[in-house]
A = this chain, B = another copy of it.
């Protein structure tokens, strides 16, 4: 195993299991741990400087997000991106975030809108600086804020956990030219609808925006065919 994981970042605060989970999830989503790759509990334990116990607990959690597949007595593998998993993740994300943005449109106060617009302005800055990682974080921040405005913070946390496969695509597709500007424009549309307290418009704008990610899927697939599940030969 390469030094791809932020090894020896231990001895910080917090439970080891949570740190292992965060490290592994980030490595998988960023494709530092390539889809299809085999993971060994022993190897990970040695690498991260903990025992197998917290490693196992983190892997169990990743398994529920379908980011790894655990085959007893055989091995643990980073799942390949599959058509079905992406579709499911998209479905869940749309359902939760669209429901949330309706609530946000009904409840948003002036200072909430100010905060949302501030995030968009920071996205502009990140785009100009071509800081993709920062853009990615701000994108999450905006969607997170929209979810929280619904009064149901669980919408974001659940959506976040369900969209592991989507995040891998999102992460890989950001550098496309013009993509960022379009995303910012769509963010403005959504926030504008929320500002107008128009749930229907907000939901539709967000749904359209969320489906943007899928449009980049074929390009990603062409670029990294080995990251994907073998296609059904119909």
Interface residues of A (CB under 8 A from B): 15, 56-57, 60-61, 64, 72, 87-88, 91-92, 94-96, 98-100, 150-155, 158, 162
Contacts and interface: CB of A to CB of B under 8 A. Distances in A.
A67 to B, nearest CB: 14
A36 to B, nearest CB: 22
A1 B95 CA distance: 41
Given A88-B152, A88-B153, 8 more contacts: A91-B99, A91-B150, A91-B154, A95-B95, A95-B98, A95-B100, A95-B155, A154-B162
A65 to B, nearest CB: 11
Contacts of A158: 92, 158, 162
Complex A-B, nearest 7 residue pairs according to Cβ-Cβ distance, in ascending order: A95-B99, A88-B154, A91-B152, A95-B95, A95-B96, A88-B152, A57-B60
Contacts of A95: 95-96, 98-100, 155
A62 B96 CA distance: 21
Contacts of A15: 72
A100 B60 CA distance: 27
B154 A92 contact: yes
A87 B57 contact: no
Nearest to A94: B99
A155 to B, nearest CB: 7
Contact of A96 (B64, B96, B151): B96
A92 to B, nearest CB: 6
A61 to B, nearest CB: 7
Contacts of A150: 91
A95 B96 CA distance: 6
A158 B87 CA distance: 14
Contacts of A155: 91-92, 95
Contacts of A99: 91, 94-95, 98
A210 to B, nearest CB: 12
Contacts of A72: 15
Contacts of A88: 152-154
12 contacts: A15-B72, A56-B57, A57-B60, A60-B60, A60-B61, A64-B64, A87-B151, A88-B152, A91-B154, A92-B96, A95-B96, A95-B99
